[in-house]
Structure 1
Amino acid sequence: MPLPKIVARAAGLASEAGGTALKQLQHVRIPGVGQTSVTDDPRTAARRWRAVTVLTDPEQLRTATPAPLAAFGDRLEVRVSPAPGDRGAELAARFRGPVTEEEIGQLRSALREAKQLVEVGEVLRNEPQPHGHRAQTPQGKVLDGMDEQASKEGVL
């Protein structure tokens, strides 16, 4: 096998291993330090409040629930309070009943989209890329995978 193919294969295997390791690290709780994301049982996960700070008057959010959160209907409890330090409003939401991990990711995305809609007026997107398509290199595949998970997990 030619050396360039061996190097390309090794890079592909390394990027797959890195992606798998990253996925595992996103679900690690470090006692006393915090966590990036935790996979809990559905009942506990549903009852956890997820929140974002929005640079706006709290009364604006109390009068109209942003569309990304309103799409969940009565499945969500939504709470609006003044953010600490007069930094706008804290918009928090949680599910009323058991949910899947996928639905929790959708709620995280909806909170970030609601923040963008209120602050900027539109939801910022990374796709499609305006400059065309990126070559599918091992690093490009890792970046695409991380970008896809970031919208649900809230970290990149």
Structure 2
Amino acid sequence: MDLDQLISRATGLTTGAGAALLGRLQSVRLPGVGTASAKDDPATAARRWRAVTVLAAPDRLADLPSPLAALGDRVETRVRPAPGDKGTELAARFRGPATDDDLGRLRQALRETKQLVEVGEVLRMDPRPHGERADTPGGRLLDGAVAASRKEGLL
């Protein structure tokens, strides 16, 4: 085996080992270190508080806006002054079991509530002012990502 083949083989083995290690590290969870609730079991994830900071006085949130009110008695909410006198912290969590779709609706409701209180309306990007996106595989993929981002966060 000549030197070029040896270097090529070593590079391939190193790349494969690095990819395998990275794949394992991505699923490692350190307690208390910025991890998403998606890795928790469903019962724990449902009981976790989700919160947004709203630039408004706490009394403006005495009556819950419609996005959170639509979830009804399934969720409990908490309203308190945000740290550092930076508005109001609005938090919500499910009282009982919840699916991944339920958790997505809760995150979406919190973001929409924040927008309603701060701006007066829920901001939308659809329909796009510049027209429709081309019906290509990339366009469909982007449309799907935008639709999913409403529940999972911003792109």
- TM-score for the superposition, normalised by structure 1: 0.75
Alignment deviations for residues 72-131 of structure 1 (CA, whole Å, 9 cap, x no partner): 111110000111111100000000000110010000000000000000000001111122
Percent sequence identity is: 64
- Is 1:87 equivalent to 2:100 in the alignment? no
Residue of structure 1 in register with 2:46 after alignment: 46
Contact kept, 8 Å, 2:49 with 2:93, in 1: the verdict is yes
Alignment CA distance shift 1:35-1:137 (3 Å):
farther
Task: Give SS of 2:38's match.
Answer: coil
Q: Hey, what's the Cα distance between the residues in 1 that align with 2:51 and 2:27? A: 20
Matched length: 130
Mark the structure with the bigger radius of gyration.
Answer: 2
Task: Give SS of 1:43's match.
Answer: helix
Task: Give SS of 2:116's match.
Answer: helix
Q: Give the stretch that moved more between structures: 70-79 or 35-44.
A: 35-44
Contact kept, 8 Å, 2:37 with 2:45, in 1: the verdict is no
Contact kept, 8 Å, 1:29 with 1:35, in 2: the verdict is no
State the shift of 1:148 in Å: 1.4
Q: Hey, what's the Cα distance between the residues in 2 that align with 1:36 and 1:124? A: 25
Residue of structure 2 in register with 1:59 after alignment: 59
Off by >4 Å, runs of 4+ in structure 1: 27-30
Alignment deviations for residues 13-67 of structure 1 (CA, whole Å, 9 cap, x no partner): xxxxxxxxxxxxxx95653752355243221111000000000001221x21111
Task: Give SS of 1:38's match.
Answer: helix
Q: Hey, what's the Cα distance between the residues in 2 that align with 1:71 and 1:100? A: 17
Q: Hey, what's the Cα distance between the residues in 2 that align with 1:75 and 1:135? A: 40
- TM-score for the superposition, normalised by structure 2: 0.75
Residue of structure 1 in register with 2:35 after alignment: 35
Residue of structure 1 in register with 2:139 after alignment: 140
Contact kept, 8 Å, 1:29 with 1:37, in 2: the verdict is no
Q: Hey, what's the Cα distance between the residues in 2 that align with 1:66 and 1:46? A: 21
Letter in 2 for 1:59: D
